[in-house]
Every structure is written in structure tokens, then in C-alpha cells.
Amino acid sequence: MKMGKENKVDTSDDFYNAVKTDFKLANDLDNGRKAMVEARTRYLPMEPGEKKKPKTYDVRLNRTDFYPGFSECLDDLTGAVFKKNIILEDATKEQQAHSENVDLQGNNLSVFSKSLFRNAEKYSITYFLVEHPVVPQGSSLHEERRIGARPYWREVAPPNLIYLFADIVNGQQTLMEIRIKETIITQEGFINAKTDQIRRYIQDLDENGQPFQVRWEVYKKKKDKDEYADEPENKGLLNPMKRIPLVPVYTKPSGFFRGKWRLEHCAWLNVIHWQSSSDQRNILRVVRCPILAHAGFFKKLDKDIEISPNTHQGTTNPDGKMWWVEHSGAAIDAGAKDLENLKHEMSQVGKNMAIKKTGSITATEAGINTAQSQSELQSDAKSLEDAIENGYILNGEWTSDSAPAPKVRTNTDFGLLESDAGNNTVLLKSCEAGKLSNRTYLTELKRRNQLAESVDIDDELELIRIEQATAWLGGDEDDEDKEIE
């Protein structure tokens, strides 16, 4: 199908146009200092005086230190969920084998899903396609298995999904078309050649308005031009799929296959820290050097003054004098405190996401909305579980396998981040009052990451017994000659 000039294949939808600057910000912060420096005035404005002297801005920019608060928040959230590997329950032999290499690139389910989860937090949502290698037409299931052809998953990051259209089909929201920008790398001679292309998936309906097939088309970018071909270079059908096999991984849903950026505040705090750090470095550079002031030397400064231990300054004017002017340092302290406060606020964003929701709710309310008793991070982990299960459902549609999808379990015990210090105090008082055993108390502390993973609960209980017995006998716990029954 040929597209009109007003609707080229690289035309993006309204949602993408509205959030693409957010995607850019997330990528720049995650890529670190080099990306922030290359962004220049996008995040670090040029002062009025620097517009007349651009080199002054370059000096300030290149001296600016970058603190990766946004990236650390992503790593902490992802690390909490993937402290333990994903577990598949009731998986068939084929499903278990798939989990050991889900993308045909050697990545198991936990490794692949870790990237999915991090990008979902980074962008507000992410996606993956459930695909299948092309096999000779008419191949049997036995022949497909013999050549190793089976479904595999491929992540589609939100910055690459430039167009998505959904419509109501038989009363159900249905994905009708998506367009994905991608770069294909091929070898030409002794070098790698990059080709930009757009892959388009279209849902077809039959005469009764029922989904019955999915078409795909590939449009290559024209050589030496910033535009794509009007006609697809390749096209075909996703047999036997009857729906577009794209799976969303939500964090904070804001519509069908759309998300709202939960970490936007953390990202902009990181930008503010970048700007404040630039001011701080610049003022340090200025105030570290005292200013030499003088009076009664020259009517005009028509010559340079050399300042060194081997020179002497003098004047015939009896009222002449020279002195050093130094900064009080108050502004430096204020800037340092501002930077520390910003770091603390960034780290608190991630911690708040891991804290369970609190408040007075009835049992009926909790039953209606279980998310109220979950932290945002636990809710995101559950969303990942749903996405993975949907992926296995699509696997079955590719292979006509009627086996149900396995039950997916992610780690939702986040330890210390799950509770505040007040709850730890409650545990201690309960233990001291005899309402909680020492074993349960220590086990709970370890679950909350209050104790190192290497701590053995049984060993700790034995040490407690020895210490208590030693104290009761009135002896020294280090006295190895005393035998304690």
C-alpha cells in the first residue's frame, strides 16, 4: 500500500511526539556525563555573558561533574526485583527449554526480563515482540523442531516504537498497527554497514470484522537521504498468528499500551543537580584564587603586573598599598548543601517506590484493590509477571501448543526498602516482650536486608545462647576453658 506524502511510513503518532523528549532525557541521563556534555545547552543553559564569549561556556561545561542519580535509582529498583531469579511454575518441557534461551542469543528468562524491567522503569513502559524464524512453507512441526525453529522474544524499546494505533473490535481494544524503527547491521567487505529501516505490522480483519491475519512490511531508508522508501522492500504474513504479537510491560499504565513516567521527578532532579554542580565547580574555580587589589600605583593599568615569589611590587606614592581579597566561602557551603540535598531527594524517590502503601482501609476495600497493600515496585514486578505469561501464551499461538502458560514468580521481598525504621522497632519490642521468637526476629531482619546475606540464623541463635549462659554464670564469654552445658 503506497502512502501519501502527508502520511509517510516514518510519521509518528501524537503520544510519541509528546513524550520523545522524555525518552531523550532518560537516555542522556542513563548514558552519563559524555551524553550530558554533548547535549550542551539542552540541559545546561548558557549564561548571558557566555553568549558573547562561547569559550567561557565550554570551560564551565567541561569542568562540570555528573552524578548518576537517575541511573542508580534504576539499578536499585531493578536489583531489588532481580535479587532472585524468576521462577516458572508448572512449565512444560518446551516452556522450560525456551526460558533458558528466550531471545535465541543465549539470554535466559531472568537476564532478558531484567533488561525489560529496567527499561520499563526508565521509560514508563517497554515492549517485546514474540517472533518466529521463517521456515520453508508447508514445514511440519517435527521439521521445525529438527531445525531448531521456535518462538523467540525481542525487546522493542519505546523510543523505537514510533507509531501505534488501536481500535475497538467486537467490543475489545485491539492493536491494529505498529511501526518500529530499527537499524540493521550487515557486513560489506571489511566494514560493518548500517541500514535504517521501519518494520510495519498491520492487523487484518475478515468480512465479519474478525481478526484473521497479520501482515508485515519493511521500508528501507533511501541511500544518502533522510527519508524512507514509499514502497516496502519486503513484506509477508505472520502465519499462523491472528494478532500482532507485541507485549507491553507496564509500570504506571495511562492507556492501552501506554504508560506514564513515574521517575520523571527523579530525572529532572538529576538535571538540576547537573546545573547546580556546574555552578559549584565554577564558583570554586573563581574563589580559590584570591584577587590582588591595589591603590596608588598607576593612573591606568597600562602594563601587566607579574605575581611570583621572585618579584617585588613598589610605588613612589606614599599612600600606595596592595592587598589580597578572598571570598568568605558562604556561597560554597550553600552550594555543597544543595548538591547533597538533591542527592538525598533522588535516592528517596526509589525508596518511596519500594515502601508499601499505608493508610486505613477496610477488608472489603483491600479485596477490591489489592494494589493498596503493595508498594509501587511490587506492583511493577507483578506487571512483569503478567507480561511474561502473555509472552508464553503467544508462544503457544505460534506453535499451536494448547498447554497453558506457566505461572511466573518474581521476587517481591525487598527487605529494608519495604518498611520504615518504625516497623523495625515494633519487631524488637515484640521480641523483647516474648511475643516473637528470636529466630523469627532474626529471620525478619535478614529479609529486610538488616543482616548480611552471609549471616547464618542458627549460628546466631547459638551465639546468643552461649552469651546468655555465660552472663548467667557470671563468667567471661571469651574464657575458652569454661565448659557450658
Q: pLDDT tens across 294-312, in order?
A: 676 655 555 566 655 556 6
Q: 266, exposed or middle or buried, with CB in 10 Å at 0-12, 13-18, 19+?
A: buried
Q: What is the pLDDT of residue 321?
A: 73
User: For residue 464, is it within any domain?
Assistant: yes
Residue 352 inside a domain? The answer is: no
pLDDT at 101: 96
pLDDT tops 60 at residue 233: yes
What pLDDT is stored for residue 418 in this prediction?
A: 41
Cell representation of residue 305: 603586573
Cell numbers for 225: 537521504
Whether 288 has a pLDDT exceeding 60, the answer reads no
Domain count, the chain: 1
Give 149-184 pLDDT, tens digit per residue. Answer: 899 999 999 999 999 999 999 999 999 999 999 999
Structural domain for 441, as ranges: 419-473
Indicate whether 364 belongs to any domain: no
Q: Is residue 451 part of a domain?
A: yes
Task: Write out pLDDT tens, residues 235-247.
Answer: 999 999 999 999 9
Q: Is residue 251 one of the residues assigned to a domain?
A: no
Within a domain: residue 361? no
What average pLDDT does this structure show over 250-276? Answer: 94
- Looking at per-residue pLDDT, the higher value among 290 and 431 belongs to 431
Give the pLDDT score at 245.
98
Whether the pLDDT of residue 203 is over 50: the answer is yes
Least confident piece of the model among 122-136, 289-303, 393-407: 289-303
User: Average pLDDT, stretch 250-261?
Assistant: 94
The pTM of this model reads 0.75
Q: Which residues pair with 259 in a beta bridge?
A: 253
Q: Which amino acid is at 194?
A: K
- According to DSSP, residue 221 is labeled B
72 CB-contact burial (10 Å; exposed 0-12 / middle 13-18 / buried 19+): middle
Structural contact between residues 417 and 401, judged by C-beta atoms closer than 8 angstroms:
no
- Structural domain includes residue 340: no
Nearest-CA neighbor of 252 among 244, 262, 239?
A: 262
74-84 in b/e form (b: 16+ CB < 10 A) is bebbbebbbee
β-pairing verdict for 253-255 and 258-259: antiparallel
Categorize the per-residue pLDDT at 143 as very low, low, confident or very high, splitting at 50, 70 and 90: low
Question: Taking residues 181-194, what's their average pLDDT?
Answer: 89
Scan for cell 547464618, then name that residue.
Answer: 456
With 0-12 CB in 10 A as exposed, 13-18 as middle and 19+ as buried, what is 155? middle
pLDDT digits (tens, 9 = 90+) for 64-73: 989 999 999 9
Percent of the chain with pLDDT over 90: 51
**The pLDDT of residue 366:** 40
Label residue 360 by pLDDT band (50, 70, 90).
very low
71-104 tens-digit pLDDT:
999 999 999 999 999 999 999 999 999 999 999 9
Reported as a pLDDT band with limits 50, 70 and 90, residue 430 is confident
| Average pLDDT value for the chain | 83
Q: Do residues 234 and 217 touch, judged by C-beta distance below 8 A?
A: yes
Confirm whether 360 is domain-assigned: no
Q: What is the pLDDT of residue 329?
A: 59
How far apart (Å, rounded) are the C-alpha atoms in residues 127 and 387? 9
How many angstroms separate the first and last alpha carbons of the chain?
Answer: 88
Q: How confident is the model at residue 440 (pLDDT cuts 50, 70, 90)?
A: confident
Cβ neighbours around 136 below 10 Å, total? 9
pLDDT of residue 157: 97
Residue-level pLDDT at 361: 43
